[in-house]
Amino acid sequence: MTADFGKVGVLMGGPSAEREVSLSSGRAVLSALLNAGVDAVGVDADSAVLDRLKELAVDRVFIALHGRWGEDGVIQGALEVVGIPYTGSGVLGSALAMDKLRSKKLWMAAGIPTPEFVETRDEHVLETIREAIGFPVFVKPNREGSSLGVTRVETEADLKDAWSHARALDDELFAERCIDGAELTIGILADDTLPAIRLETPRTFYDYHAKYVADDTRYHCPSGLDPELEAQLKVQARRAFQVLGCEGWGRVDLMLDQKRVPYFLEVNTVPGMTDHSLVPMAARAAGIDFQELVQRILEASL
């Protein structure tokens, strides 16, 4: 099967705020492919990336770019133009999943629960949040990943600082009602839906520090949920994934409130791919090691 892949370019790095995380993912993917006997080469993506791929004569691309430019449909569209197959979602699914506001609006139209929100492009809108959704809320940039720019806000007095923090990363922002309950993530791998992971952190929420720095974040897989409930959540997660036009592989993040009602937050179309990231963790629980996971993601590009 490895010969069928031809020469594989692993795109990593790039110009987004998640560059360092992307480099870690890309190196892990490249190592796994080389260990499997695949002819693979790492490519730190920049504005000359298409020329570089042509020079290297790659047959297909494993996208390990996180955040804007790599996860928002831009690189997917470029690869479509030059006819190079790639992993993961296409242009539409990537662009929609990266855009949290439009994801939420599509989910609402499809009857998929998502926390109430207020768009806050203009600062004066902050005055309406208490009446519209109450506190606490999360103030979020619309098109960032890894919880960059996200702040949990308990009182109206802290809204302006949170807004300014998010505004530094995006001109489209929103405040989202905080759901009190368990934070879960469910991986999608082609036709398989991976076991749910339940996340616990002593911090106010699962932020960038909890994801990449702290050593006290706890990951429960098995999740500890009732098996029937987890099976239902996996079905709903796949539907949330498909409604956005996503395909191949990815990760769906959600909250489960005290009444066991799920609220979907976002879809990651290029999740972290180090050996301690969430999708590899769920895959291991399903009996799929990292090398097999990488190959199965790549197989979809065939």
**Which residues are known catalytic residues?**
18, 146, 212, 251, 253, 266, 268, 272
> How many other CB atoms are found less than 10 A from the CB of residue 81?
8
Residue with tokens 């996996």: 234
Q: How many whole angstroms separate alpha carbon 30 and alpha carbon 24? A: 10
Q: How many whole angstroms separate alpha carbon 89 and alpha carbon 153? A: 33
| Angstrom distances, CA of residue 166 to CA of 115, 123, 151, 163, 272 | 19, 12, 8, 5, 22
Two tokens, residue 176: 């989202």
Cis peptide before 280 (omega within 30 of 0): no
Distant-in-sequence, close-in-space partners of 109: CB < 8 Å, separation ≥ 6? none
